[in-house]
Amino acid sequence: MTTHYSPSHPREDFTTSEGLRALLHRLHQSGAHAWKHDRVAAELATFAAEKYGALARKHGLDPWEAASAAFDVMRTRSAREADDPWAVVTRGVQITCIAEERGQGLLCATHQARRPHVSAFHDPERFADRENPLADYHPAFHVVDKYLEPEAEDANKNDEVGTAKQAIEVSIALFATLGWPESTTRAAIEHVCGAIARAGSRQSAYEVLRRDKHARALLDLPGDAWSALLHALLGHPNPAYRATSTGRGILLRILVGETLPALLLDDDLVSIIVTSAPKHGSGR
């Protein structure tokens, strides 16, 4: 939505990049109190609130919060000397709005939410709000009855095997749907799952598999495709991503109840799989 504005001072048309640059230089040279007392500066603040109102509301903020963010950017040297000052201001307001929204969700200060290792976490949630009970998430609540009847123990093992097979098949279907050769995908995913069974954990399996050049050569996969497949299946190895979808990986997400249609709605995941899809004979 384009903001239409007619300033009361035609010679200082801050709606254009040239006019804004000239105004910012004048205000800077006028001293620290110019922004407080200058009439054109007040009009500029009103204009910024209107210009960035939609962006602010998108992130759950008041338009004047966006105007305040614009004010902070306009006082910087980079905005005054930029070829396109409005582009610099717009980007600064966008970053601030995102940080404000993440800060509110993470219950932390805005300057902390700007840091990647903090913003990577998911918003706080109550265990009571989850569909599955706390016992499903913490090993301290996992109890195995040593007197379990053999038939019941066998049934549990069969259920686990069935769930694992389902996770493998859904993963194969996801990759095949997004352009990966089905035969290559099946061999690669089964190899990865075998490595998890031997290693005992996703993290350990990832460390082994990322250096497994022999398997990559047998599968005829280029390095970027192999790396993308491991990240997608096992999740990002950085502990900061552990509680996020990026950190869980496809296999774990399926095991905790996510379906193929739900995974296809994850734009970041779909983009990684599509862009890394190998061409025939492209392994190196």
Q: What is the 3-state secondary structure (H, E, C) of 52-92?
A: CHHHHHHCCCCHHHHHHHHHHHHCCHHHHCCCCHHHHHHHH
* Contacts (Cβ under 8 Å, ≥6 apart) of 216: 223, 226, 283
- Does 97 share its domain with 180? no
* 50 found inside a domain: yes
- Does 198 share its domain with 259? yes
For residues 279 and 202, what is the distance between their CA atoms, to the nearest angstrom? 27
* 46 found inside a domain: yes
* 208 found inside a domain: yes
Cβ atoms of 231 and 250 closer than 8 Å: no
* 51 found inside a domain: yes
Q: What's this model's pTM, rounded to 2 decimal places? A: 0.42
- Does 111 share its domain with 170? no
pLDDT tens digits, the chain, 284 residues: what are they?
A: 445 444 444 567 888 889 999 989 998 888 878 888 888 888 988 999 899 888 888 888 888 888 888 888 888 898 888 889 999 999 988 888 888 877 676 666 665 655 655 455 555 555 555 555 544 555 554 545 554 455 444 444 445 566 778 888 888 998 999 889 888 888 888 888 888 888 777 778 888 888 888 878 888 888 888 888 888 888 877 776 677 777 788 888 888 888 888 888 888 888 989 998 887 544 44
End of a domain among 86, 119, 152?
119
- Does 36 share its domain with 109? yes
* 62 found inside a domain: yes
End of a domain among 92, 119, 146?
119
End of a domain among 101, 119, 137?
119
- Does 186 share its domain with 108? no
What radius of gyration, in Å, describes the C-alpha atoms of the chain?
Answer: 27
Find the domain containing 98 and state its range: 17-119
Return the pLDDT at 87.
Answer: 92
- Does 109 share its domain with 189? no
Tell me how many domains the chain contains: 2
Give the torsion through C-alpha atoms of 20, 24, 26, 28, to 10 deg.
180
Residues 139-172, buried b or exposed e (16+ Cβ, 10 A)?
eeeeeeeeeeeeeeeeeeeeeeeeebeebbebbb
Return the pLDDT at 86.
Answer: 92
Return the pLDDT at 269.
Answer: 87
Return the pLDDT at 200.
Answer: 73
